[in-house]
Structure 1
Amino acid sequence: MFSRAARPVVQRAAAVSARPAPSNNYATLREIEGRLKSIRNIEKITKTMKIVASTKMNQAQRNMVQARVYGATNNKVYEEAETKPEEKGKTLFIVSSSDKGLCGGVHSSLSKAVRAKLETNPEADLCILGEKCKAQLGRSHPKNVVMSFSGVGKDVPSFAMAQSIAHEIMSLEKQYENVEVVYNHFNSPVAYEASAIDAFSEESIKASANFAAFEVDDEQLPDLREFALANSIYWGLAEGYACEIAARRNAMDNASKNAGEMINKFQILFNRTRQAVITGELVEIITGAAASAE
């Protein structure tokens, strides 16, 4: 009697032990569900960041157009005066980046352009606006960095910000014969390129062929140079901010699309895994029922 009653239990145990053990690489339903949840949260964040960047885009472009008016007027004076940079002397590159990331290769392309300039002029100094390019250029050319500014890119650039930066640069002990503002030039919402604006020294302004026609006194040259430098910095910051916002919108759009594709793939994997689990449970039930019937 005991052996007859115990026979179904022994047969079920033998059937369970005979089935192959699940693979360690086979994800469980709970793991897949957790991954799906995290990807959906990431998709929500990227979509929100895309909406925020889209709302800021119009304001950034309007500010950029105003800065271009300042910059074009400033450059027109030196074009008519035929001002040219000096061939010799110390050079300062002002790199116009920001503190924010998640905007594609905006800062990387700018750092790449600055490295190319440093290859031809390795003795040049760097003044970096923003933490992103500071981190990149600080690793490759730490000895060239003489000044840096943080807190750039949080808000729309203003001329007051550029003026304060220009004042700090003019207060440096070193005197630079050549100053260039390296920035990202806004071509379209999907295209930008690294460019440079010359900020001439007092000697270059004095040596201009037609500058005497403007009737500027020598005492006013330092103020004129600082004002021109602030104009150039403001132009570079405004252009770079517009490029950053456009690049962030595109990057978040691509990230949202990639997250949607991953959600679809993991949803299919979840359904297949759930189907496999249900099939396995049905097999166990049928095997147990057949064993109990014997």
Structure 2
Amino acid sequence: MGTLREIQLRLNSIKNIGKITKSMKMIASTKVNKAQRSMESARIYGSSSSGIYQNTKTVPLEGETGLYIVSSSDRGLCGGIHSSVAKATRRIIAENAPGPVVVLGDKSKSQMVRSNRGDIELSFSQIGKDIPSFAEACTAADTILTSGVKFDNATIVFNQFRSAIAYEAGPIHNYSTEALKSSEGFTAYEVDEGVLENYNEFLFANNIYWSLVEGHASEMSAKRTAMENATKNAGEMVDRLTITYNRTRQAAITSELIDIITGASAL
């Protein structure tokens, strides 16, 4: 048990931390609603545009190279949301053939470097400060396509928003133009060669945008939950330290009274 001064300093420190986490929770709560609205529109456009893969039953062709894109951000203080994406990516790579890796965000990059350092071809930073835009996704997609990274299919791993308190890491698949043309249901579509190539590039950028926006909504929700738990823990620690401080103070006062009474009795 520390002295009264030490307990008082620790008590004040935890109170200040509780005020900070409470403010961060309020900020995250404000951002969650805005992020969810952007996520809903991105999810609708993403699932609709990628519906051609499901309608044509597209599958990768044999011998094609797969690219793995890890979608996260640069921000922390949001629980294990970044580690869940890294773990899901490592699991998907283990289940399939190894391939080049592109990381969106510094948090997942530091985790992927530990296990797949030699596979990382590109990484992007300055992600997660605000709601991602389609222009940013197009820039990332264009950089990947023009960087010289050789791949045919792309698997984008991101945090899928389930509810205000739940998320799950999962993939979005982007197939090559040859795989799309070879699919059994493609004959139902009448698409020119150049249009199909451009449309597939648009799907690639749109899927990156979808993953970034939905991952951002999951991150804000997880951050709010993390700050709420931190505020609750700080409050519990303040209550325990207050009891300890009062007991220590009472013991010190009692000891001083005993000394005074003993001295008075001796006189």
Which TM-score band applies after superposition, normalised by the shorter structure?
Answer: over 0.9
- RMSD of aligned residue pairs (Cα, Å): 1.5
CA distance in 2 between counterparts of 1:87 and 1:37 reads 63
Partner of 1:190: 165
How far off is 1:277 after superposition?
0.9
CA distance in 1 between counterparts of 2:254 and 2:55 reads 83
CA distance in 1 between counterparts of 2:13 and 2:226 reads 19
CA distance in 1 between counterparts of 2:76 and 2:108 reads 10
CA distance in 2 between counterparts of 1:123 and 1:255 reads 39
- Please say if 1:136 is aligned against 2:107: no
Partner of 2:36: 61
Q: Which runs of 5+ in 1 are unaligned?
A: 1-25
CA deviations 1:139-197 (Å, max 9, x no partner) are: 12111111110011110011111111100111132321221111111111111111111
- Alpha-carbon spacing, 1:206–1:32, altered in 2? closer, same or farther (3 Å): same
Output the TM-score relative to the length of structure 1.
0.87
How far off is 1:118 after superposition?
2.1
How far off is 1:116 after superposition?
0.8
Question: Any idea what SS the aligned residue of 2:18 has?
Answer: helix
Partner of 2:17: 42
- Please say if 1:76 is aligned against 2:51: yes
Partner of 2:152: 177
- Please say if 1:33 is aligned against 2:15: no
- Which of 229, 248, 256 is the aligned partner of 2:223? 248
- Please say if 1:290 is aligned against 2:250: no
Which of the pair has more CA radius of gyration?
1
Amino acid of the structure 1 residue aligned with 2:106: E
Q: Which runs of 5+ in 2 are unaligned?
A: none
Decide whether the 8 Å contact of 1:86 with 1:178 is kept in 2: no
Amino acid of the structure 1 residue aligned with 2:113: G
Amino acid of the structure 2 residue aligned with 1:76: G
Amino acid of the structure 2 residue aligned with 1:98: S
CA distance in 2 between counterparts of 1:231 and 1:78 reads 14
- Which of 130, 147, 168 is the aligned partner of 2:122? 147
CA distance in 2 between counterparts of 1:280 and 1:87 reads 83
CA distance in 2 between counterparts of 1:250 and 1:85 reads 39
CA distance in 2 between counterparts of 1:82 and 1:254 reads 44
**Residues matched between the structures, number:** 267
- Alpha-carbon spacing, 1:68–1:230, altered in 2? closer, same or farther (3 Å): same
CA distance in 2 between counterparts of 1:85 and 1:231 reads 19
- Please say if 1:114 is aligned against 2:89: yes
Partner of 1:201: 176
CA distance in 1 between counterparts of 2:104 and 2:166 reads 22
Partner of 2:251: 276
CA distance in 2 between counterparts of 1:204 and 1:110 reads 27
- Please say if 1:231 is aligned against 2:206: yes
Amino acid of the structure 2 residue aligned with 1:206: K
How far off is 1:256 after superposition?
0.8
Amino acid of the structure 2 residue aligned with 1:286: I
CA distance in 1 between counterparts of 2:228 and 2:234 reads 10
Moved over 4 A (4+): none
How far off is 1:212 after superposition?
4.7
Decide whether the 8 Å contact of 2:109 with 2:123 is kept in 1: yes
CA deviations 1:206-230 (Å, max 9, x no partner) are: 2233435433322334322221101
How far off is 1:89 after superposition?
2.0
Greater Cα offset, 209-218 or 146-155: 209-218
CA distance in 1 between counterparts of 2:62 and 2:164 reads 36
Amino acid of the structure 2 residue aligned with 1:275: Q
Output the TM-score relative to the length of structure 2.
0.95
Question: Any idea what SS the aligned residue of 1:86 has?
Answer: coil
Amino acid of the structure 2 residue aligned with 1:182: V
Decide whether the 8 Å contact of 1:86 with 1:177 is kept in 2: no
Decide whether the 8 Å contact of 2:66 with 2:97 is kept in 1: no
